[in-house]
């Protein structure tokens, strides 16, 4: 094998390794960004129980729709995704990352019944039955008291 051919082969291997490393670190950020943009593009769309878009949403339908656009398939069931062991559980709000799914017990029966997508800056986007639409909310004392867990799906 000639030296030129060996150099080209080594260069090709280096490029492939660099692309693989870039994909490992960049792809999750790209997926999260796509999911965020998709969810935020739905602001104001009506809340309808069981709806998964694109005209209306319930909370898990919104997160499923947003992450599907980012190439991540989620169940259209709040409890199913919250209990999915494939995804890392985050217990403390101080450990939230952009794109985490945050789960709540909104009726006080110790059961997860609501989900939103963490945006950072102490805010999340969700399909709110109380407000009747997709909205952005502050993670204030009301929501902190109802918080159960978060899942990192990307």
- Is 0.85 topped by the overall pTM? no
CB atoms near residue 141 (< 10 Å): 8
Per-residue DSSP letter, 79: H
Q: Catalytic one among 31, 64, 126, 151?
A: 126
Told to judge if 59 belongs to the known catalytic residues of this protein, a careful annotator would answer: yes
Mean pLDDT computed over every residue of the chain: 90
* Most confident listed range (2-16, 76-90, 133-147): 133-147
Told to judge if 126 belongs to the known catalytic residues of this protein, a careful annotator would answer: yes
Q: 111 lies in which domain range?
A: 3-152
User: What tokens appear for 63 in the block?
Assistant: 């997160």
Beta strands in the chain (DSSP E): 88-90, 101-104, 114-120, 123-128, 133-138, 147-152
Q: How many domains does the structure of the chain reveal?
A: 1
Q: What's the CATH number where 114 sits? A: 3.90.1720.10
Q: Catalytic one among 59, 81, 102, 150?
A: 59
CA 30 to chain centre: 11
Nearest to 67 by CA among 99, 33, 35: 35
Q: Catalytic one among 114, 150, 153, 154?
A: 114
Predicted confidence (pLDDT) per residue in 97-143, tens digit: 999 999 999 998 888 999 999 999 999 999 999 999 999 999 999 99
């Amino acid at each position: 094998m000639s030296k030129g051919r060996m150099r080209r082969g080594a260069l090709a291997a280096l490029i492939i390794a660099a692309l693989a490393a870039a994909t490992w670190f960049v792809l999750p950020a790209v997926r999260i960004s796509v999911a965020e943009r998709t969810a935020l593009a739905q602001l104001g769309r009506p809340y309808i129980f069981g709806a998964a878009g694109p005209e209306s949403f319930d909370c898990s339908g919104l997160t499923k729709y947003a992450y599907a656009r980012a190439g991540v398939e989620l169940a259209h069931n709040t409890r199913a995704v919250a209990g999915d062991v494939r995804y890392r559980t985050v217990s403390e709000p101080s450990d939230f990352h952009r794109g985490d799914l945050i789960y709540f017990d909104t009726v006080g029966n110790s059961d997860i019944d609501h989900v939103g997508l963490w945006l950072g800056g102490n805010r999340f986007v969700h399909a709110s039955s109380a407000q009747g639409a997709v909205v952005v909310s502050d993670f204030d004392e009301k929501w902190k008291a109802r918080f159960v867990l978060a899942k990192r799906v990307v």
